[in-house]
Structure 1
């Protein structure tokens, strides 16, 4: 059992299901496997060829514990540890390297029509430099990936999607591109090689405002602007993030990524944070992790993501899987994504959820001890009749049943900046 201190609160993690440690021998030496909300990270064994972001040496110089995630070598935590990074993000400001995300430009006169043939959102209604979270869906209504699309004032759509889905997302877009071009449409794709930094936390605006001439009070949630940031030109700053806090993602020319990171860290408000903190922060904020909480076997309605369906798109039913997804909006569905709060040992991915009589009614998809709430939180899917907030349920942890309750999400209030 490994213990981490967090303002007097202690977390216990068993080695086989922990955030961090699960040692196993490999043929060429030892490799270290990390599980975070059910997501597995592996340390490097020497033979593995890992992709590296431009900040790889920078992370190492700061004591980053590098692990494998989606084929990339990424920091899972730093010297101060995961809990400290998590709490610092909630109270001050943290810097995350998210350069592993797939970034794509969609260009051409028919770029909106092209993207709307793949996603559920109303891209045509986006204002200049406004973004939205949307979903790639398949013909069965399943979620291929979640992504953010920004309608830039530079004549292209800027798309950011998950690193773990990069290969299939690229294949999906390239296949559709061939069909569009063959039918005479004007559209092109360009994979970007810029770096992407996320600056997240309540003091973000204070830190960033010192290095930009633009008034950040005018940059509201999901809006972006191209600006010079601490002397680095041509950065796209988007007010968004994956922590539930006020924050930005900064698209920065790769040659300036380390320079800008070093400048940001000069502020006493800013510390670096890794994958583990990013994951526990997003769970407290009730945000989905693709591959855990949503995938091709879940529809937007089951995943409580109906709000991603554009009003015009619902009426037109012109996106992949619409014939399955739209009827679910008004009809009763078999299962629904919910939040859970429990006591005792923390619940993890694949933990069975039971009704009070002991029958299985669902399964946990993500779970961890909440550093802020000092109680166990999770999300998962249950039969729809058990999805009402306040419903008592049971969870089965190590063959023992523990009391839990269906909870509203987010578990911790979000602080997105809307200008109000």
Structure 2
């Protein structure tokens, strides 16, 4: 039907969109404080970017991407996540020639063909940050601390930061072989997805949500069991920086994340208030991704937070965002002769930065006052033919229930002083 939105999408209406704007401005303020600049990439990219960058064995590439062929017979995909596109922009625009590290953030819609559920949609919105050009454990800690700082400023409670290291190209092959040896005797008992992962990426079996696979893998080797010395030393430093910053975390040696590009540090933030999909955000390090996408060898790290999940968790925890959509002033008119004067006054107020409204339905004065009450306007300016003839308006304070006459020429200054206080 043309009158229903596609499954897995949402209309964000007035009264709700202000919460989004508040959250977006909050994260922009945090980014300014941490020194991150905004980047905006296209909503669609060449499909190959995600196949190479995200990983051909991931659920995103295999099952969830919105891919189409354009009129030039090119395969394009609506972006399912933000990191690969940001990496492409870093390489294409030669940002690696600038002083490093490059610290970027993005806010925007992503698209995945997934089963819609609480906090999870087919069009969803992410805020993410990426840092290119530094392999320092301190940058890992900064990125993680920044994510937790945002949640703290939103006011979210009872979050758990899960932390792990998934190794590097030197130690990951050792872990892969250990996992294949462990799971081979039970291969027939794994779910079809994990049977496919066994040869391509057995590490992903540790991340399976199938209860039977979880039981089978309970004693499986984990990334921390196979870390090489440099990866182990890096992870210890990350933990020490987090300890120094007072950021609490839970070591989760089974955390592997869902994308193939992660190396070393991986983390996820969990909430208890959004149902089965408890993650509200996460990320990690991806030192080989920029090179994989055609750039020079460059370390990188980042995270992405789901805005819908943050808002859902906030609502479940009873957090009210300080948003105000009420007009400060409503202009009520009595008689058609004064309507143009009222419109002129309306525009004068708006030019002074004062939110103002007027009646456009030729209501009676009583109906206009009732409407102003529904809008929760603080002040109502009453202008009728009689008042216009005397060069005055009546200004009623809707909260105090008082009113007084003010000279028409002094109305804007009077209201500006009242609303400023």
Superposed pair shares fold, TM > 0.5: no
- Higher helix residue share: 2
- Higher strand residue share: 1
Higher-Rg member (1/2): 2
Q: TM-score, normalised by structure 1?
A: 0.26
Q: TM-score, normalised by structure 2?
A: 0.26
